[in-house]
Each structure stands twice: as structure tokens, then as C-alpha cells.
Amino acid sequence: MKVSQLKPHLRVAASALAIATLVACGGGGGSSSTPSGGNSVSPPPPPPPPPANEAPVARTTASPASPEEGQPFTLDASTSTDADGDTLTYSWSQLSGPPVTLETPDQAVLQVAAAEVIEDTEAVFRVTVSDGENSSTADVPLVFENISQTPALITPYTYYSTIPLPFRPINWGTVHPGLQILGAEEIPGGDISFYGVYRDSQSTEFALSFRRAISQAFQQPLFTKLVTYFTLSSGSHFWVIDSQGSRIYSQPPDNSDELTLLQETSHQDACSTTQLVSEQWLIVGRRNAGFELYENGWGVDTSTQYPPPPPAHNPVRQKGFTTTNSICGIQRTYFSVDRTVFGSPYGLLDLISLLTYNLDTRSLELYSQKPGAMTQEVDAFELTQSVRAEFDSVNDLELIDHMTAENTLWLLFSDGEHKGDHRLIVAGLDDNRNIVQSTYQWEIGAPSGFGKYSFLTANPAGIEIVIFAPSSPQAIVFKPNDPFDWFGSLDGPYFFEVGLGATTGGNLGISVDNNQAIVTLHPDKQELKVFVSPPY
């Protein structure tokens, strides 16, 4: 019988049987979602979301909290933390105060130099600390302290202008009052070139121009002393002395910019120089080799000849003292500190006595010419006296510079610290030719060298000794109260505001609006500063 022929109630029964069979078999091969107990099971809950990233905690300090102008201080954010242990990055900025240079603003710890200020000034710095997702900030205030040592120097000179330079000024010297020479280096530690300094006539304001004066460049390291050289025979000359030798230059008769090399002497490792008053002799102290005397090459007065003859020969070594010690300060002594004359300064070579500083033994030594020594004798001197230099310090002080002034030897020492031991020793001879010395000191400012100024004040001697200390905005000034006594009447120290970074200076020799002018050299800033005074 065909299915279609079944009666309706039989078709219903057949369908019910088929459904029952499917259920019994597991629903067409699948497993049942209902356990044998008949209770349903919930799916497992989703995992909890990760905790929210916590922002880092920024912390910062400044040490010291009140750095002196120009001095280093530390900004430190290294104690900043992050609860998630993420790697932190840093970004520093300055919110207020005189601007300073942040050379590595992405570091946790910064070394920064305090700004130059004229009074104590507050500054605020901010560090932003980030973990890559969140960030936080912390601010730190500090005070830049003005350096103002007293007593201040009473001087008619006031700041006039700053002249930017395309190079680093290193030395200042004089050929004659109308021609100053500037020694400069293009890069720190590079060769030194010499330029003539001129008033820029094309400028409506006061400006200086610089034209190459010597074609040769001098290699570092240098012991460069710019010695003003005057001779009776051929006018004004410029004597350049470095560690390798000495060279004498002259300005040609046509006053052209470039100086002419006249004479050259080779001597290794020079560390001190001086001249006789007659300017006919150069005395060179050397490291590990004693000292030597050189005749300038003319030897006689030819001023009556016109035109003057050219130099006959290069400087000739005439006398000396050979030793393994380093003679790094030297002064020809003509008279005592009380003005007792020992002999004529004009060419009487048998009367020569030399007051020196022995760098190796740290002693002041007196050398006298041997009785009856001939002009060409190699070791024409003998050591006649030696005394220890009176540093009045327990620290080991380094010789920074030396110079001569009015028959005294000036020696500059320092431990190199901004606030440290700095000493000036002035030495000479008493009436019995015994070595005498006086020691002066100051606290702030590691010295770099000496400079001589004319009429910086109205003192009777007309010359002041200025010590430059780049770490301080103040130069240190000593002045004699007696023009004939640069030993017993020395007064100071006084302090003269010249700005940070000054290493040396001198008289400009160029009128500034009919005023006298002096300059200071600032190598790191690549600038000169000009100070002017009304004419006396």
C-alpha cells in the first residue's frame, strides 16, 4: 500500500515514531547538551580586564640649590618611579629665570652651568617623566647667586660694548701704541693666528676690524708671550715667543697690515721669558734645561744711520745656565725693592743678576754672572741663593702664570678650584741682595693669567696688575701706592666686574668717542668687551 494512501491518523503515528527514534539516537549523531540529571551549565565568565596603567611619579632635585653664577649645578630626576615597572623617559625644560643651556634634556640627570646675573635671581626647571602612555611633571626652583666680592675697585672705567668675534681670542699684545695684536684660534685647541686690531671706519658705531698680521699660524700647545719689542735701530717690533722658539716681527715702513719676520731663534720647551731694559737681550727660561740669553742681532745703536740697515743676523745665544731643572719664571734685577741700584740696566752684562722660579724645587733662586765671565761663555752664571716659595697653603698649588713688573717677579698659583687656594707671590731682592717675598690671596675665582693696565685707577704708579679668573665675573686687581715701590706698597685685592669667562686683556690703544679704552678677552663666548674712561 502506498504511503499516500494511509489514513491521516496513521501518518501522525508514523511521524511521532520517527521523532522518538531520532531523540533516542542522540539527535542525528550529536551529543546532548542536557546532562543525565537534566540541569543546565553556564559558560565560564570572561577574564577580568587588565588594570589601568598608572602614571609615573616624577621627582626632582637641584644641587646645590643656590649655585653661583657660572658654576655647575645638577638637576636630578633619577628617583622618579613607575608602579608598573615601565621604562621611563625624561624631558627637561626651563620655566623661568635667566636662560641656561640644557645640553642633554632627555637624560634623568643633567649637569648645567648657572646663568650670569647681576643680582641673586630665581629660576624654575620642570621635568616631564613618561612611561610611554602616561606622564607626570615635577618642578624645582633654585637661585642663581651673584658673585660680588668686596672691596670693589673704584675706577672711572665703565662697560661700553661687546664685540662678537669669528674666532676665540687668546692673547693680546702691542707692536706700538697705534697697533694692537690679537692672537686667536679658530677652534678650541687649534692653531693660533695673529691679527692686527683696527677701528672700523666704515661703521657708524664703534666697531673693530681684524686683519691678518702674521701669515704663520702657531701650533698648540703654546707658551705664547706677546713681548713688545723696541730697538733703537729699526723702530717698533713684535716679539712672539712660544714653546718652540722666538720670532721677531716688524711693521713695514708703508704700515701695511702684515708684519715682516726679521729674526727667528729655535729653543725647545720655553716656559718663561724676560728682556733687559735696553731691549737688546732676550732671556728664555726652559723646562728641564735652565735658561739662555740671546742678543737681538743688532747689538749696536744704528739710529744715526738713515735708512737704518737691515738686521745683520738672527739672535745669537750668548750666555746661559744649563741644568736639568725648569726655570719657569725669570726677572733681571737692576735694583732692590727699596730702590738701591745694583748696576746699570743698559748693557753692562757683567752686572747681570737673575731672580728666577724653579718649577721642580718650588724655590726662588738667584743666579749671578760669574766674575770675569766672557761674553760667549756657555755657563756664565752660578746659583748664589735659593729659598722656598712661601705659598702659605697646605695644598699643592700649580704655577699658572708669571710676569715681571718694576724689578719684581710676580708668580701666580692656584689649586684650580673656583673656591680654593689662589696665591700671588711677589719677589725681589733687598739691599743686601737677599731674596724677599710677599704672599697675597683671595678665595673666589681660579686664575688664568695676568694683565697690565694703564691708569685703571688714579694710583700714583699709573699701572695696575689685573688677574683674570674665568670662573668669576670679577677680575682681581692689585695696585702699588708708590710708583717706585711695587713690593712693600702693594694694595689689594680689589675686584673689578668684567663678566664671566675673561682670560686676559689689555689696553685697546684706540680712542673710543675720545675716551681711553681697555678690553677683556672671552674665548668661550668668542667676544671682546670694551670698557671706557674719560681722558685724564
| pLDDT per residue as tens digits for the range 313-336 | 455 566 778 888 999 999 888 788
Q: Which residue has the higher pLDDT, 463 or 348?
A: 463
Q: What are phi and psi of 5, to 5 degrees?
A: -95, -5
pLDDT of residue 275: 67
223 occurs within a structural domain: yes
Residue 302's beta-bridge partner residues? Answer: none
Q: Are 414 and 420 in contact (CB under 8 A)?
A: yes
Q: Helix-strand-coil percent breakdown of the chain, rounded to 5? A: 5, 50, 45
Q: Are residues 328 and 426 in the same domain?
A: yes
Are 106 and 196 contained in the same domain?
no
Q: Which residues does 317 contact at the CB level (< 8 Å), separation at least 6?
A: 265, 292, 293, 294
Q: Name the DSSP letter for residue 3.
A: G
For residue 454, is it within any domain?
A: yes
- Report the DSSP beta bridge partners of residue 193: 184
Statement to judge: residues 133 and 172 lie in one domain:
no
Number of independent structural domains in the chain:
2
Q: Does one domain contain both 362 and 476?
A: yes
Whether residue 130 is found in the same domain as residue 181: no
Q: Is residue 228 part of a domain?
A: yes
Between the ranges 82-91, 222-231, 233-242, 263-272, where is the mean pLDDT highest?
82-91
As a whole number of angstroms, the distance between CA 477 and CA 490 comes to 10
DSSP conformational letter for 145: B
Tens of pLDDT, residues 420-474:
999 999 999 998 999 999 999 999 999 999 877 776 776 666 678 899 999 999 9
Q: Same domain for 93 and 126?
A: yes
Query: 107: domain range?
Result: 61-144
Q: Which residue, of 114, 144, 174, is where some domain finishes?
A: 144
Whether 227 and 194 have beta carbons less than 8 Å apart is answered as no
Supply the pLDDT for residue 53.
87
Q: Find the mean pLDDT for residues 141-161.
A: 94
Task: Give residue-wise pLDDT tens across range 43-72.
Answer: 888 888 888 889 999 999 999 999 999 999
In which band, very low, low, confident or very high, does the pLDDT at 12 lie, cut at 50, 70 and 90? very low
Q: Are residues 140 and 171 in the same domain?
A: no
Residue 121 CB coordination number (10 Å): 18
Tell the residue number behind the cell numbers 684706540, with chain if given.
Answer: 510
Smallest Cα–Cα separation from 198: which of 241, 261, 256? 256
Mean pLDDT of 103-127: 97
95 vs 3: CA distance, rounded Å: 97
- Show Cβ contacts of residue 78 under 8 Å, excluding neighbours closer than 6 positions: 108, 109
CATH number at residue 299: 2.130.10.10
Quote the CA–CA distance of 254 and 256 in Å, as a whole number: 5
Average of per-residue pLDDT across 224-232:
52
Whole-angstrom Cα distance, residue 473 to residue 391? Answer: 25
Task: Look at residue 504 and tell me if it is in a domain.
Answer: yes
d(CA 425, CA 410): 6
- The arrangement of strands across the sheet holding 290-295 comes to 270-275, 281-286, 290-295, 316-321
Spatial strand order of the sheet with 527-533 comes to 158-164, 527-533, 516-522, 504-507
Cα Rg of the chain (Å, integer)? 40
Is there a single domain that holds both residue 68 and residue 175?
no
**Residue 211 pLDDT level (bands cut at 50, 70, 90):** very high
Residue 189 in grid coordinates:
685647541
Which of 142-151, 154-163, 347-356, 440-449 shows the lowest mean pLDDT across its residues? 347-356
Which residues are CB-neighbours of 123 under 8 A, at least 6 positions away? Answer: 94, 96, 97, 98, 100, 115, 141, 142, 143, 144
What digits encode the pLDDT tens for the residues 119-131? 999 999 999 999 9
How far from the centroid of its chain's Cα atoms is residue 202's Cα?
A: 33
Whether the model clears a pTM of 0.95, i.e. scores above it, the answer is no
On whether both 517 and 411 belong to a single domain, the answer is: yes
Q: How far apart are CA 103 and CA 109, in angstroms?
A: 11
Whether 479 and 504 map to the same domain: the answer is yes
Q: What angle do CA 195, 451, 506 make, to 5 degrees?
A: 45
419 pLDDT band (50/70/90 cuts)? Answer: very high
- Give the residue from 144, 168, 192 where a domain finishes: 144
| Burial of 81 from C-beta contacts in 10 A (0-12 / 13-18 / 19+) | exposed
Q: What is the CATH number of the domain that holds 90?
A: 2.60.40.10
Residues 168 and 296 grouped into a single domain: yes
Burial class (CB in 10 A: 0-12, 13-18, 19+), 87: exposed
Q: CB count, 10 Å around CB of 19?
A: 9
Residue from 426, 477, 474, 431 nearest 450 by CA: 477
- 74 in any annotated domain: yes
Residue 43 lies in a domain: no
Residue 189 and residue 133 in one domain = no
Residue 503 falls inside a structural domain: yes
* Residue at 418 is within a domain: yes
| Domain end call among 93, 119, 144 | 144
Type of residue found at 224: T
* Phi, psi of 230, rounded to the nearest 5 degrees: -120, 135
The rounded Cα 389 to chain-centroid distance in angstroms is 26
Q: How many helices (H) and strands (E) does the chain have?
A: 1, 34
Q: Are 451 and 498 in contact (CB under 8 A)?
A: no
Instruction: Say what the pLDDT of residue 373 is.
Output: 60
**18 backbone dihedrals φ, ψ, rounded to 5°:** -65, -40
- Per-residue pLDDT, 320: 76
Give the least confident one: 11-25, 162-176, 214-228. Answer: 11-25
Give every CB contact of residue 152 below 8 A, 6+ residues apart in sequence.
494, 495, 496, 497
- Mean pLDDT computed over every residue of the chain: 81
